[in-house]
Amino acid sequence: MYWTELASDQQTHQHVLQEVVSVHTNDLLPAIASIINQQQKVPNYKVIIFLTTARMTGYMASFFTAMNIEVMEIHSRLTQSKRSRVSEKFRQAMGGAILFSSDVSAR
């Protein structure tokens, strides 16, 4: 499944395009790789990939780091100070950033 947020969404700045991709677990790795590959071609891209568990979030971050792709991760297994630092680093990132997150970012 694939969604693009409507411009009428008032919780998001009007110039921020939001897209949602929902995939089956078996297709997760190739789907994420494809999204990252696409977005790295966009100047100043920012991608947040939400995953269902802290363990999956850590795994995906480790996997893509091992593939020499710079990513950040935020999940409940990190201390609050580490989560705050990662969140701020992502906000301030220029020139592209990828963040893997569990639902902890929504809190």
Report residue 66 as tokens: 């091992």
pTM, entire model: 0.81
Strand order in the sheet with 97-101: 46-50, 97-101, 72-74
pLDDT over 90, % of the chain: 64
Spatial CA neighbour of 97 closest among 33, 49, 27 = 49
Q: How far apart are CA 73 and CA 63, in angstroms?
A: 12
pLDDT value at position 13? 62
pLDDT digits (tens, 9 = 90+) for 32-84: 999 999 999 999 999 999 998 999 999 999 999 999 999 999 999 999 999 99
